Amino acid sequence: MKIKRYMAQSMRAALAEVRAEQGAEAVILSSRRVAEGIEVIAACDYDEALFIGATQKRVPTPPVAPAAAPAPPVAARPTAVPTPAAPRKAPTPAPVTECSAAKIPAASPPTSVDSGYQSMQRELKELRDMLRGELSQMTWNDKRLREPLKVRVLEQLTAMDIGPDVARSLAAHLPQRSTLKNPDNIPLALLVKSLKVVDKLSTVSAGVFALVGPTGAGKTTTIAKLAARWSMQHGSRDLALVSTDGYRIGAREQLSTYARILGAQMYTAATGKELAHVLERLKSKKLVLIDTAGMGARDERLSQQLSALRLGAPKARVFLTLPANGDAHALDEIVASFARISPSACILTKVDEAASLGAVISAALRHQLRIAYLCNGQRVPEDLHPAHGRQVWLIKSALKLKERAQARLPDDYFARHFGEALHA
Q: For a pLDDT cut of 90, what percent of the chain falls above it? A: 32
Q: For a pLDDT cut of 70, what percent of the chain falls above it? A: 69
pLDDT band at 353; cut points 50, 70, 90:
very high
Asked if pLDDT for residue 51 goes beyond 60, the answer is no
Asked if pLDDT for residue 314 goes beyond 60, the answer is yes
Note whether 332 and 290 are within 8 A (CB): no
CA 221 to chain centre: 33
- Alpha-carbon distance of 25 to 131, in angstroms, equals 12
Q: What is the pLDDT of residue 270?
A: 87
pLDDT band at 65; cut points 50, 70, 90:
very low
Asked if pLDDT for residue 111 goes beyond 70, the answer is no
| DSSP three-state, residue 129 | helix
Domains belonging to the chain, first-starting first, are 1-57 (no CATH), 200-388 (3.40.50.300)
pLDDT in tens, 318-349: 999 999 999 999 999 999 999 988 999 999 99
Exposure string of 116-142, with b = 16+ CB inside 10 Å and e = fewer, is beebbeebeeebeeeeeeeebbebbee
Exposure string of 200-211, with b = 16+ CB inside 10 Å and e = fewer, is eeebbeeebbbb
Of 132, 136, 188, 139, the residue nearest 160 (C-alpha): 188
Report the DSSP pairing between strands 207-212 and 37-44.
Answer: unpaired
Q: What is the pLDDT of residue 390?
A: 92
pLDDT in tens, 33-43: 888 888 888 87
Structure-model confidence comparison of residues 171 and 80, the more confident one: 171
Q: What is the DSSP string of 369-397?
A: PPEEEEE-SS-TTTTEEESTT-HHHHHHH
Mean pLDDT of the region 235-251: 83
Per-range mean pLDDT, top range of 202-206, 352-356, 418-422? 352-356
Asked if pLDDT for residue 118 goes beyond 80, the answer is no
- Alpha-carbon distance of 299 to 295, in angstroms, equals 6
This prediction has a pTM of: 0.64
Note whether 216 and 188 are within 8 A (CB): no
Among the residue ranges 15-24, 318-327, 413-422, the one predicted with the least confidence is 413-422
- Alpha-carbon distance of 158 to 150, in angstroms, equals 12
Q: What is the pLDDT of residue 70?
A: 47
Note whether 191 and 361 are within 8 A (CB): yes
Q: How many helices (H) and strands (E) does the chain have?
A: 15, 11
Which residues does 382 contact at the CB level (< 8 Å), separation at least 6? none
Report the DSSP pairing between strands 371-375 and 345-349.
Answer: parallel
Which residues does 202 contact at the CB level (< 8 Å), separation at least 6? none
Q: What is the pLDDT of residue 100?
A: 37
Report the DSSP pairing between strands 287-291 and 37-44.
Answer: unpaired
Of 38, 41, 33, the residue nearest 3 (C-alpha): 41
pLDDT in tens, 178-208: 666 677 788 888 899 899 999 876 678 889 9
